[in-house]
Structure 1
Amino acid sequence: MDHGPALPGAASLVLVSGVLHLDPAPAVFEAMLDGWSRQQRSRFLRADATIKPRLEVVRRFARFSNQYPWQWTPGELEAFMSSMSVAVSTARSYQNALRLFCDYITDARYGWPSECLERFGASPQQVLHEWNSVLHNVEFEGRTSRRPLSYDEVQALFDAADGRVEEIRERRRKGAAAAQRDAVLLKTVYAFGLRRQEAQGLDLVDLRSNPKAKAFGRIGGLFVRHGKSSRGSTAKRRTVLTVPEFDWIVELVEHYLAEVRPILVPGDHPAFWVTERRGRMSLRSINDAFEHARAAAGIDPELDLHSLRHSYVTHLVEFDYPERFVQEQVGHSYASTTAIYTGVSDDYRNRLLQRSLTAPGFDLWEPVS
């Protein structure tokens, strides 16, 4: 029997020849998943971040339909999607995973159509088409409540984080050093426009001096090694420069490194943000730091840590930094993505309007009576 060429993930490579299964259907399905994993690994896609979530979506659809891939129909897919209450972007990611899996098992080069036809009398089909797929019609599909924090909200958030440190000290409780760490962490996220995983992944060696801004010393920028990947690629890297408007972060970070971090007794741990147990802060802990400060400051609970990144982009724009500079600072591939993050204030727009109105040669147009 011709199983097709021996491409990574081909049926001939993952099915054990000469072995008879009492129940062949589950064995073939598992072999399909194994083969798809191999095919994706051959393209250097990341196992935990990309391959594993895709496999779980396929398994979830199989459990829902109670059918195997060679039995799936578009109707089953539509019922599956209708059963879920998820964001549009999440629904699209599910559909993308299922579409890619169906592309794989229907590609004759991998041998699955002929294998299934011989074993089960049916071949798999592509169950997603333009009529049952989520279309990408708008740039932004996130929560409409997510927005940049105003300057007053940013200040209130930071005051609340600092206030927690003082409260712990006054009560003579443990945790003052951790609270100081959290306060500096939140300010660093804002001052460099970091994503949550980017902040978590920072190491001491990621500090960068800037020969064009010697006044900032060793905190002339941060080398971000855990940026958001795209299309299954490895994490993107970038250097985020310290800008003069956020130069206050230099003294805070220096104080944290010299006075606060040593109290946590990190030993030789490389992480920038360490716990009292000498480990790297978790993503959940970073979220908690923001949520505690947000609650204490009385800020809208719909706003999350990522809103600080939105604030960073917005405030750089209001400081009149060029669009391309802002885009590079936050690591966006496209200017349109940066524009989505921007929500300039009315004061800024009025300043732009006033600047135009007072520009030389500007005359108000008067209609002819």
Structure 2
Amino acid sequence: MSVVDELPGAAHLVLADGVVHLDPEPAVLEAMLEGRARQQRTRFLNFESTIRPRISLVRRLVAFTNEYPWEWAPGEVEAFFDHLRTRRPGRPLTLSTARNYQNDLRLFFDYVTDARYGWPATCRERFGQAPVQVLHEWNTVTHTSGYEGAAERRPLTYDEVQGLFDAADGRVEEIRKRGRKGSLAALRDAMVLKAVYAYGLRRQEACGLDLCDLRRNPKVAAYGRFGAVFVRHGKASKGGPPKRRTVLTVPEMDWIVDVLDQYVAEVRPAFLPGKHPAFWITERRGRMSLRRLNDAFEAARRSADLPEELDLHSLRHSYVTHLIEFGYPEKFVQDQVGHAYASTTAIYSHVSDEYRNRLLLRSLQARHGDLWEQET
């Protein structure tokens, strides 16, 4: 048997020889999906976040068309996406989600139409027809813009950031005045939101921090053990491990040093964490969950009466934008937030008119010197 015949996901590896199925179509479909899962596992893709959703998408297409992959034509797939666009009034399928779905299905069709895996021959032998690629340039979303997220999603202004933090702090005092439980958790929530902004962290990065991830910066000894944080759970590339980076504490946000110092010295010990390594500890002495972090932001956002479209990730956008407005080079900002490409960092930045006017004024003064200063 050739090496090609032994490719993970090949038809003969997931279909039992000599077995006659009473209902062959579902049996071949299940073998096809198992083969696709095997093929992706060999690339070390994550099952829960990548493989399972891709397999589920194929099942949704099967259920919608009431047909099998070897029977699909472009019309069935196009009708499926038209259905997705219109099934939820007021909640349309976003452009980026549609492209991701189409890319996932295109990859599935690449797999089942590749002769090396044996599915074309198997389907032709058993059902008289073979699967074909049904997604092409003329019936898929064209990528024309670097950013396709909701236009309403934006960074917070400086006043909005301050309002959010004031609201989070205010919740602590409100709970204390009412004599209710939860003031300690509310204080922790206020502190974690400030840390997310001060270091431009993603949700998983913030929740994944351990106490040992605090770092000293020998160049800024005054910050003590809070000169930087070591992110070990950065966003991974598909098939790769989580990316790591060290995020330095910048002088414009050195107020976070006092916040973290109070948390480590007073707040965290009050949760009685024992030997638990997590930095952000819950009332049940466990690690803060992604949902709990989202809830903390939503509670503060509502208290601050900020627009509903702002979410926790908007703090990361704010961090990028504000670092650029502080005058940090783009490469420094890119390294701080862990972007592989500068173009991604550029998408995150939405500098204010005031900042652009300062740059314009600086350019005019450099070009015209004293003459421009006299005219203004």
TM-score bracket, normalised by the shorter chain, equals over 0.9
- Which sits farther off after the overlay, 225-234 or 146-155? 225-234
Residue equivalent to 1:303: 310
Partner-residue secondary structure (3-state), 1:128: coil
Please say which of residues 139-148 and 262-271 is displaced more in the overlay. 262-271
CA distance in 2, matches of 1:220, 1:3: 53
Does the 8 Å CA contact 1:356/1:362 hold for their aligned counterparts? Answer: no
Q: Is the CA contact 1:4–1:108 (under 8 Å) kept in the aligned structure 2?
A: no
Per the TM alignment, residue 347 of structure 1 is displaced from its structure 2 partner at its CA by 1.8
Match of 2:160 among 153, 166, 178: 153
Q: How big is the shift at 1:40? A: 0.8
What secondary structure is seen at the aligned counterpart in 2 of 1:240?
A: strand
Cα distance in 2 between the residues matched to 1:114 and 1:4: 15
Deviations 1:195-228 (A, max 9, x none): 1121111111221222222211111111112222
TM-score by length of 1: 0.95
Question: CA-to-partner distance for each residue in 1:23-72, whole Å, 9 max, x for gaps?
Answer: 01111111111111111111111111211111111111111111111111
> 1:58 aligns to what?
58
Superposition map of 1:287-366 within 5 A: 287-359=294-366, 361-362=368-369
Aligned to 2:124: 117
Q: CA deviation at 1:82?
A: 0.5
Task: Tell me which amino acid in the other structure corresponds to 1:105.
Answer: V
Instruction: Name the amino acid aligned to 1:267.
Output: G
Contact 1:92–1:134 under 8 Å retained in 2: yes
What does 1:60-209 align with in structure 2 at a 5 Å threshold? 60-85=60-85, 86-209=93-216
TM-score, normalization: structure 2?
0.93
Compare 344-353 and 175-184 and name the one that shifted more: 344-353
Q: 1:280 to 1:320 in 2, by over 3 A?
A: same
Residues 353 and 3 (structure 1), Cα distance of their counterparts in 2 relative to 1, 3 Å cut: closer
- Identify if the C-alpha distance between structure 1 residues 4 and 113 changes in structure 2 by more than 3 Å, giving closer, same or farther: farther
Shift of 1:358: 2.3
Query: Could you tell which deviates more after superposition, 153-162 or 236-245?
Result: 236-245
Are 1:285 and 2:292 counterparts? yes
Q: Deviations over 1:294-336 (max 9, x none)?
A: 1111111111111111110111001100010001111111111
Q: Is the 8 A contact 1:3 1:110 kept in 2?
A: no
* Cα deviation code 1:59-107 (max 9, x no counterpart): 1111111111111111110000111131111111111111111100100
TM-superposed deviation, 1:15: 0.9
**Cross-structure match for 1:216:** 223
Check conservation: 1:3, 1:11, Cα contact below 8 A.
no
State the one-letter code of the partner of 1:107. D
Give the CA deviation at 1:2: 11
Q: Unaligned regions of 5+ residues in structure 2, if any?
A: 86-92
- Equivalent position amino acid for 2:324 in 1: V
Superposition deviation, residue 3 in structure 1: 12
Shift of 1:288: 0.8
Q: 1:61 to 1:234 in 2, by over 3 A?
A: farther
1:146·1:303 contact (CA, 8 Å) conserved in 2?
A: yes
Residue 241 of structure 2 corresponds to which residue in structure 1? 234
For 1:206 and 1:109, the matched residues in 2 are separated by: 47
Q: Distance in 2 between matches of 1:205 and 1:57?
A: 40
CA distance in 2, matches of 1:77, 1:293: 43
Corresponding position of 1:5: 5
CA RMSD of aligned residues (A): 1.8
Paired with 2:152 and 2:234, the residues of 1 have a C-alpha distance of 24
- Write the distance in 2 (CA, Å) between the matches of 1:83 and 1:53: 19
Pairing 1:15–2:15 present: yes
Partner of 1:276: 283
Q: Work out the CA distance in 1 between the residues paired with 2:323 and 2:293.
A: 24
CA contact (8 A) 1:287 1:305 kept: yes
Partner Cα separation in structure 2 for residue 255 and residue 23 of structure 1: 65
Aligned length: 365
Letter in 2 for 1:95: Q
Deviates more, 1:250-259 or 1:205-214: 205-214
**AA aligned opposite 2:39:** Q
Offset of residue 360 of structure 1: 6.4
* Corresponding residue SS for 2:229: strand
Q: Percent identity?
A: 68
**Matches of 1:2 and 1:191, distance apart in 2:** 56
Once residues 3 and 74 of structure 2 are traced to their aligned partners in structure 1, the CA distance between those partners, rounded to angstroms, is: 26
Shift in alpha-carbon separation, 1:2–1:341, aligned structure 2, 3 A: closer
For 1:315 and 1:332, the matched residues in 2 are separated by: 16
Decide whether the 8 Å contact of 1:21 with 1:27 is kept in 2.
yes
Between the aligned partners of 1:93 and 1:234, the Cα distance in structure 2 is 21
What letter corresponds to residue 28 of structure 2 in structure 1?
V
In the alignment, which residue of structure 2 is the partner of 1:39? 39
How many Å separate the matches in 2 of 1:47 and 1:222?
A: 29
- Alpha-carbon shift at residue 357 of structure 1 (Å): 2.5
CA distance in 2, matches of 1:3, 1:70: 26
